[in-house]
């Protein structure tokens, strides 16, 4: 008998069984230990019938469900929401100048940092991640902004290939990394703030890590795309960014996890 809508009760009015079953019972969230307990609560002698629009909460999976007339379907996973979720466990250390900080998942670059190391960003909770860097200034564009996994500067395992275009010419130049210790994720100067976003696939699992589409070399006259992978079956919980020359100042970094399921 779901779907009665809403009723305004007044003092002295009679509350009938039908009203309890529809206006009250059908408009609350029923809670069950699991799906089997839920299913056993309907259709038997003295038990209510399933009706479209009913809701329930399952303790074992922490899921909110609704009945669509033929089946129970997830509304939202109350612990693990779908799509992207900001990683709030990130910590940061930096070298040089005024220290970088991390607050509630927002990493703020310090002043004149020669490197910024972000840890506790990747975990078993997610397979894939989105890294968003905004408003970062580099004192020198030479050498570009470099990225590597982990907390040290390795000497190998990065491979990449792509191109950049000189928009003034225009001319196309191929670029690549062959077993290097880093990949170049962009370039700018102190006159222009650097911003970028890219996906990092499988950094925490014991598999090769992939960065499929990375905007790089983005500044006044150059723009490009590269794809990269880290050729080591190693688990990493974070990464390092550092300039090829000069220092980094200002801007923020946020890391989001892609939920594996609703």
Indicate the DSSP class of residue 113: B
CA distance 84 to 105: 13
Indicate the DSSP class of residue 206: S
Reduced to 3 states (helix: H, G, I; strand: E, B; else coil), residue 64 is: strand
Tokens of residue 197, six digits:
């976003």
- Contact between residue 106 and residue 134 where contact means Cβ atoms under 8 Å apart: no
Could you tell me which of 200, 262, 182, 183 has the C-alpha nearest to residue 237? 200
pLDDT tens column, 227-244: 999 999 999 999 999 999
Reduced to 3 states (helix: H, G, I; strand: E, B; else coil), residue 35 is: helix
CA distance 214 to 252: 18
pLDDT tens column, 13-70: 888 888 887 777 766 788 899 999 999 988 888 888 888 888 888 888 888 899 999 8
CA distance 200 to 150: 13
Architecture of the structural domain at 17-77: 3-Layer(aba) Sandwich (3.40)
CA distance 174 to 220: 18
Whether 4 has a pLDDT exceeding 80, the answer reads no
Q: Where are the domains of the chain?
A: 17-77, 84-258
Whether 146 has a pLDDT exceeding 60, the answer reads yes
Top pLDDT among 84 and 116 is at 116
Is the overall model pTM greater than 0.85, yes or no? no
Long-range contacts of 38-41 (CB under 8 A, 24+ apart): 38/72
CA distance 125 to 43: 38
CA distance 198 to 62: 31
């Amino acid at each position: 008998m779901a779907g009665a809508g809403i009723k305004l009760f007044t003092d002295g009015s009679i509350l009938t069984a039908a009203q309890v079953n529809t206006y009250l019972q059908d408009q609350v969230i029923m809670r069950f230990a699991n799906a089997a307990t839920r299913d056993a609560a309907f259709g038997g002698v003295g038990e209510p019938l399933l009706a479209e629009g009913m809701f329930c909460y399952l303790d074992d999976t922490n899921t909110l469900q609704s009945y669509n007339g033929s089946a129970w379907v997830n509304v939202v996973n109350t612990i693990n929401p779908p799509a992207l979720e900001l990683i709030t466990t990130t910590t940061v250390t930096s070298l040089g100048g005024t220290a970088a900080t991390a607050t509630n998942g927002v990493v703020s670059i310090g002043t004149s940092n020669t490197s910024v190391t972000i840890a506790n960003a990747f975990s078993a909770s997610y397979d894939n991640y989105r890294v968003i860097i905004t408003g970062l200034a580099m004192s020198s564009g030479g050498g570009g902004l470099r990225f590597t996994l982990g907390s040290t500067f390795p000497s190998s395992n990065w491979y990449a290939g792509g191109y950049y275009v000189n928009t003034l010419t225009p001319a196309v130049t191929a670029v690549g990394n062959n077993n290097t210790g880093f990949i170049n994720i962009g370039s700018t100067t102190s006159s222009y703030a650097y911003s970028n976003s890219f996906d990092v696939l499988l950094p925490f699992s014991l598999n090769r890590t992939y960065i499929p589409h990375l905007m790089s070399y983005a500044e006044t006259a150059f723009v490009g795309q590269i794809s990269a992978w880290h050729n080591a079956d190693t688990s990493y919980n974070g990464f390092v960014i550092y300039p090829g020359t000069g220092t980094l100042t200002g801007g923020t970094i946020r890391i989001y996890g892609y939920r594996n399921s609703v």
